[in-house]
Every structure is written in structure tokens, then in C-alpha cells.
Amino acid sequence: MTDADGDVLDRAFDTLRIDRDDGVVTITVDRPESRNALNATVRDELRTVLPAVDEAEERVAVVTGSEECNAFVAGADVSELRERDLLQQREASRRPRIYELVDGLETPVVARINGHALGGGLELAMACDVRFAERGGKLGQPEINLGLIPGGGGTQRLPRLVGEGQAMRLILSGELVDADEAAEIGLVDQVCDPEEFDDRVSEFTASVAAKSPTALRFAKEAVRYASRSSLDAGIDYEAQLFVQLFATDDKDEGIDAFFEDREPEWTGT
């Protein structure tokens, strides 16, 4: 980690809180007065923070919302959308946006969905690798109710997670689903009662943070490739990544630790 990267994650922000603990970096959208809506400041600050995550010492990242408003991220800031014309929105939609930045991180990213995840908030969660939802929250793409469609990847990521029919249902109607139904259709990976939610997320992130950072990066890359290639191409790519790990010190350390019945000491090399 360079000093510059460390400075970014240790910096104070207007709309984000960054916490670093035991191999996990947690990025909290902190606009409770607006239900953590994604305004220009949030997006700009995320564009600053996210690229630094891969260069940091932490092995897993968590994206969540502040606790005060029962929302993970309640969507885009609608007042900003109302004021933009076509040219302004074209500029705002220029890639890479925060969704592509999250999706492109080598570090595994967990969405800790602690309340409603709507519109751009759900698109942010879908760009993450694993989604845990607290029971009681609502999820959906209600943009159609504003005369719009999802514009942060929702029409592309949602069908890949839940299938075309369910995606059509949610996007065309603007219907919201609760966390339990979201888990049933594959939109989130696990739903937890409030009293066990934090423990389950912490248990999972601690487990991931204890793994080889190189193997984590390769595993994420291989799984992501699966939804973006043919089966044969994906199997070939998996084999390439698997073989490359045989050039790492972590491969030898992991196998030695297995035979010696001890915890491995990963170096990421």
C-alpha cells in the first residue's frame, strides 16, 4: 500500500464514512437526512475512495448505508435528476460510473443491505459480489414511476441475477419486493433477522479476509467471467488462473499449513 492510497481511505469525507478493521474496509454512505440517496457529492467521493481499495491492505470491502434512516441507499437524488437536461445527464452517465468501479474491483465487495435499496441503490448493491439483506427492507427498480428506466446497469445486472421474467416484472411495474422475496428470486444471497444481521456479515467478511489475497482475486475474476463468456471459454480461463497460482508463495504456504495442521500466513505473493 502506498502512502497516497492509505491517505485516501483514512481521509474524512462529507458523505462517506470509512472504517478499517482486521482486513475489512467498510464504506458507509452517510446521508441519513436524504435516506442515503446518491447525489453528486456521494458519487464523486466514491470515485475517489473505490480505486484506493485495491491498493490497500484490506482483503474484503463492505458497502452499506448509515443506520439512522432504515435505508441502504434509497436511490438517486431525484431533485438532481429533475434539474438535468439531456447533455448534463449524458455527462453524468459517462463511464466509469460508481457501478462500474465497484464491479471492476479486484477486492471482493459485500453489499450490507441494512434497509431499503431502491433504484440506484439496488444497482449499487447488484454491482457488489455478495449481497446480505436485513429482514424488513424493500428492494426494487421504481424508475418507471418517474417516466425513466434504470440507468446504472439495472436492466443488465438484474436479469443475470433473477432471470428475464422476474427482471421484467420488477422493472416494468416498479414493484418493490421485501428482503425475503428478494432472497427467493436470487436478488440477494442471504437475508437475516436484525439481531443476527451484523454477526452474519462480520462472520462472512472475517472468513474472506482470512484467505490468500491472490487466490481471492483470481477466484473473483474467474466467477465474474462465467456470466460474461461461453462455458468453454470460462473453463479455459479458470484453468489459466488455476495454473498461474502455482507460481505463488501462497500456494506453497497453504498446502504446507494444511499438512502441518496450522493456520496459513498469507503474503499475497
Amino acid identity at 14: D
Q: What is the spatial distance between Cα 122 and Cα 109, in angstroms, rounded to a whole number?
A: 14
Question: Which set of grid coordinates corresponds to residue 35?
Answer: 435516506
Of residues 110, 101, 115, 13, the one with CA closest to residue 61? 110
Q: How far is CA 69 from CA 94, 117, 180, in A?
A: 30, 12, 20
3-state SS assignment for residue 180: helix
Q: How far from chain centre, in Å, is Cα 210? A: 19
Choosing from 143, 175, 195, 263, the catalytic residue is: 143
Helix locations, 78-230, DSSP H: 78-83, 86-92, 98-104, 120-127, 154-162, 164-173, 179-184, 194-209, 213-226
Q: Establish whether 195 is a catalytic residue.
A: no
Helix locations, 15-119, DSSP H: 40-53, 78-83, 86-92, 98-104
Q: Tell how strand 190-192 and strand 130-134 pair up.
A: parallel
Assess contact for 49 and 18: CB atoms under 8 A: yes
Choosing from 45, 58, 123, 134, the catalytic residue is: 123
Q: Establish whether 143 is a catalytic residue.
A: yes
Catalytic machinery residues: 123, 143
